[in-house]
Amino acid sequence: MRVLVTGGAGFIGSHFAKRLAAAGHEVVVLDKLTYSGNRANLEGADVELVVGDICDADAVARAGAGCEAVVNFAAETHVDRSILGAAEFIETDVHGTYVLLGWARDTGARLVQVSTDEVYGDVPEGQSSREDDPLRPSSPYSASKAGGDLQVLAAVRTFGIDACITRGANTYGPNQHPEKLIPLFVTNALDGEPLPVYGDGRQRREWLHAEDHCAAVERVLQEGRPGEVYNVGGEEHENLDVTKWVLAFTKADSDLVRHVEDRPGHDRRYSLDDSKLRALGWSPSHSLSGSGLRQTVEWYEQNRAWWEPIKSGEYRRYYEEQYGARLR
């Protein structure tokens, strides 16, 4: 199968592109190589990389020539950046999805939209989100992803497009940009820098290894029913516990932990009911508290050459804007 993987030089997208290529598929990656896209993520992989934007219909048509399916990982994804400014989120996550749907409509290709559990918003203790629950996004980021999801579902109904949506939990693993909790805390701990815990740190997230996330998306690509949404859950932990384990695995001093001003609109908890996907035969093979986090820490220890260049230049400006006042 020839597959277009948009955002395939980013974190989850590159794991997915490599996975499909290793399984013998022809893979074309279309990636804008923004701050979070990285050629190094595809090093040694048997994929064709086309640099371009999913908002550009001509670029999509050129990259997608001959492809039977598109899997859309291209997105602005960081909640904190969306609070600083959301224009790019709306552009890529909503308009970009719309452009891909136009291409899928013209060509008859299948589309898998990779979305997020954040579209459901806060989930009270004892409950889990199901795929047909109302969307109550809390941040400009999750509102943009919800907008993309709704465009997909409308296009299935109105134009008969063959499309599915996956909604994944917090994903971790090698090659994740160090703006997100785990790689930020691991790399800061390795450098003896503070770990900025938002608020009381009692927020809960479900943690899903990138490999398990990609296996889920592949399963939906192969077996998902058009118009259906599939939750991809993970292992639920409090941020303070994740922080404690990062300190233990990096052998860093607990004095590095700093409770700082909370994220505005911060969701306390996400929880997914993923029984629908499990009924398709998917189940995770990694566990964060098993060896998942330890192995991820080892990867960052052994791959400074990957993350040190990222934590310079634009990143330093972002870091100062995001954390400067909080940490002073």
Q: What does the binding site for ligand DAU look like in residue numbers (CB under 6 A)? A: 77-79, 116-118, 169-170, 180-181, 184, 196-198, 203, 205, 239, 263, 270
Report the DSSP pairing between strands 229-232 and 163-168: parallel
Q: Let me know: does 182 contact 293? Beta carbons within 8 Å.
A: yes
List the one residue out of 10, 12, 16 whose CA is nearest residue 221.
Answer: 16
Q: Least distance from C-beta 98 to ligand DAU, angstroms?
A: 19
Nearer to ligand DAU, 138 or 151 (CB): 138
What DSSP string runs through 169-220?
A: -EEESTT--TTSHHHHHHHHHHTT--EEEETTS--EEEEEEHHHHHHHHHHH
CB-wise, 14 or 107, nearer to ligand DAU? 14
Task: Please say whether the beta carbons of 82 and 139 come within 8 A.
Answer: yes
Which one, 47 or 184, has the nearer CB to ligand DAU? 184
C-alpha distances in Å from residue 249, one per residue of 187, 195, 203, 209, 289: 12, 14, 21, 17, 11
Q: Give the residue numbers marked as catalytic.
A: 117-118, 141
Instruction: State CA 306 to chain mean position distance.
Output: 19
Distance in Å, CB of 59 to ligand DAU, minimum = 23
DSSP letters, 45-56, are ---EEEE--TT-
When the beta carbons of 79 and 164 are compared against ligand DAU, the nearer one is 79
Nearest to 104 by CA among 162, 44, 170, 169: 162
- Give CA–CA dist 74/86, Å, rounded: 15
Residue 53 sits at φ, ψ, to 5 deg, of: -110, 135
Q: Give yes or no for a contact between 172 and 209, defined as CB atoms under 8 angstroms apart.
A: yes
CA distance 17 to 303: 20
Closest by Cα among 49, 48, 61, 72 to 102: 61
